[in-house]
Amino acid sequence: MNNMQNLYRQVIMEHYKSPRNKGLTGNGKTTHLHNPSCGDDITVEVEMENGIVKSVHHEGTGCSICCSSASVMTEVLTGKTVSEARDIINDYVKMIKGEEISDPDRLEEALVYQGVAQFPARMKCATIAWKAAEELIGEEDE
């Protein structure tokens, strides 16, 4: 394992052990997704204000990839506009599929999941929370 992979692993485990924005507030819209192949079960809540993602919360159970990526996502998407958040989610899903993305820096800490592209069985784990957020943000006008 090289240093970069090691660093990525540390970030993932840190978010798994101390998830950010865990627990729903009741202030936003929620959606619930389930990943039968792994058992991940997650609810994401997005609160919008004036076209900006005001807050993102998550609740649920799952593997380290699923739960940590939900935590990272809440931090990356908060404060973004609807169109920025959509672009980031699209790029993230592309990265997980191993596709080229034009602006990797935009993904901020979510870049640590790029290694998941080598493990097709874990792709759903890494994207389930993001798909839930995409559903919620997709209903918003730009």
Give the residues lining the site for Zn ion (CB under 5 A). Answer: 38, 40, 63, 66, 125
Quote the distance between the C-alpha of residue 93 and its chain's center.
Answer: 9
Q: 3-class SS at 47?
A: strand
Distance in Å, CB of 24 to Zn ion, minimum: 20
Distance in Å, CB of 43 to Zn ion, minimum: 15
**116 closest CA partner among 93, 137, 132:** 93
Report CA-CA distances (Å) from 130 to 4, 40, 133: 24, 13, 5
The nearer residue to Zn ion, 42 or 56, going by C-beta atoms, is 42
The nearer residue to Zn ion, 38 or 117, going by C-beta atoms, is 38
The nearer residue to Zn ion, 78 or 127, going by C-beta atoms, is 127
Distance in Å, CB of 112 to Zn ion, minimum: 16
Distance in Å, CB of 87 to Zn ion, minimum: 25
The nearer residue to Zn ion, 24 or 123, going by C-beta atoms, is 123
Please say whether the beta carbons of 72 and 111 come within 8 A. Answer: no
> CA-CA distance, 73 to 108, in Å (whole number)?
10
The nearer residue to Zn ion, 40 or 47, going by C-beta atoms, is 40
Alpha helices, DSSP H only, in the chain?
Answer: 3-17, 64-77, 82-96, 123-138
- For residue 65, give the amino acid letter: I
